[in-house]
Amino acid sequence: MRKKIVAGNWKMHKNAEQTEDLLNELIAQIPTETIAQVIVAPTFVNLASAVDHLEFTAIIVAAQNVHQAESGAFTGEISADMLTGIGVNTVILGHSERRAIFNETDGLIASKVNTALKHDMTVIFCFGEELKDRQSGNHFNIVENQLKDGLFHIENTAWEKVVLAYEPVWAIGTGETASPEQAQDMHEFIRETVRKAFGSDIAEDVTILYGGSVKPDNAKEIFSKPDVDGGLIGGAALNAKDFVAIITAI
């Protein structure tokens, strides 16, 4: 079911104490009447305490990654079973930093999607073009291919566990934002691409988030676009004042 979602990706920020402090601030400051589903993604080591901390709240805890294998000799990796075992049932996959820095390919992301879905996890599937793709006018092609190669192998019934996050790489952490019109054009294209492959019901139901330098002062305009259902927020999710302002902008 299409929802309004504001998700914060905390990346490799916040130690245990800082995590607890930020969660306390969010609990105190997010208005109870907010229509947005709020998600936070702390680092792996702080996931269990975040789940405990948020037990009686509506805030959902997500992981920033998962390994594709069930278990095995994969030093330093975390399995889906380990995540669900501590109450983490949502995972961000395909983030541009995972793609660029950790060489995650569409094929690898596709197998992580399978593993997460097998464990009944909700997947926040990230994708988006680089600056050179937009400058050469190839951005729609790139996005279509990322969707087809990383996600479109799933069954129709799996879509209820999928949230899309369009994140143009040139706008992530750069202070550069897609204009509300650029975001809407791409989100409309994404919904149309889903419609062609999976039909209108799934296309209308899927939640499509925008990510890329969303801040309190631009959130309202971006979120006002009809195909933008919320945001995946990096930098501005690291302090309660900005994150809550973005949540209330929806």
Instruction: Summarize the annotated binding site for substrate as residue ranges.
Output: 9-11, 173, 213, 234-235
For this structure, is 139 an active site residue?
no
Nearer to ligand PEP, 167 or 229 (CB): 167
Q: Which of 6, 9, 10, 203 touches ligand PEP by CB under 6 A?
A: 9
Q: Which of 128, 212, 219, 250 touches ligand PEP by CB under 6 A?
A: 212
**Active-site annotation holder among 97, 104, 129, 167:** 167
Q: Maximum distance among all alpha carbons in the chain?
A: 48
Q: Which of 211, 218, 243, 246 touches ligand PEP by CB under 6 A?
A: 211
Q: Which residues contact 124 (CB under 8 A, 6 or more apart)?
A: 7, 39, 62, 90, 91, 92, 93, 163, 165, 209, 232
Give the whole-angstrom CA distance, residue 211 versus residue 219: 10
Give the whole-angstrom CA distance, residue 99 versus residue 105: 6
Nearer to ligand PEP, 178 or 202 (CB): 178
Q: Which of 234, 240, 243, 248 touches ligand PEP by CB under 6 A?
A: 234
Give the whole-angstrom CA distance, residue 219 versus residue 250: 8
The closest residue (CB) to ligand PEP is 234
For this structure, is 67 an active site residue?
no
Our CA angle for 22, 37, 12, nearest 5°, is 40
102 binds ligand PEP (CB under 6 A): no
Give me the helices (H) in 58-179, please.
Answer: 80-85, 96-101, 106-118, 131-135, 139-150
Residues annotated within the binding site are 9-11, 173, 213, 234-235
- Residues recognised as catalytic: 95, 167
Query: Which residues are at the interface with ligand PEP (CB under 6 A)?
Result: 9, 167, 172-173, 211-214, 232-236
